[in-house]
Structure 1
């Protein structure tokens, strides 16, 4: 999502003496953002259980490139009427069911604002007065309560 070089440029760090800590922050920040948003972000083929209401369902790994199949638990297939480039799938039938959706989606190139959100989280952690005592996702997650998540909120999967 973000390289060490991009992070160092963002933080205006020119030497290599903090690379170990910065790499740990970066790994933890990326893991946190993926967990917080409920997404992987990388382009690939995904299979999800998706709840459809009136023939409309929402997948996690947008943008959608192609819906490969939509099937129910009895192996009945459903025809996709259309998709939005983000995350919505509309079927030809107005079914209310949890269906298995196989699709291709995610990002070939990470959006710049999402990269910025990851780097802002690293910057936030880097500048914490008490510092980071651990390098794992759990340690980083405990510090995010004061972090402004507005940039990464745009990418968060929300289910009601």
Structure 2
């Protein structure tokens, strides 16, 4: 197997956040969001959508999935099939998927900007489902994004040798 030349990016250290719980949670979530989007940016086609593991997981699919999670959790969007969220549409390239993700994050942040109390339920929910607290939603999104950012680190290194945050 040919060796892929390594591209090392300077690691971005964890964020220095304000002292409040909300500032800390949002700071770490935005840090992870930026990191995972950065792993997809500049990744070459078609390898960005090629499965590198038996589960079929690919870099473009990970960011497509995270876009759906952001929309479902913070914007109240309905997801009919979570497994389907791991597949980017054939016509969607890196630019489209990254742009769509950043737009979802921006909309989610506008919702969060209106949430003063972490113990209160999120304002946008799906009918018939109780809304989680803002604290729970932020913690879950940190966990979800962090988990997939780790997957993206590995997949991007397998694609073209790029490492770093």
> Normalising by structure 1, what TM-score?
0.29
Q: Which has the higher contact order (CA 8 A, sep 6+)?
A: 2
**Structure whose residues are more often helix by fraction:** 2
TM-score by length of 2: 0.28
Higher strand share: 1
Which structure has the greater CA radius of gyration? 1
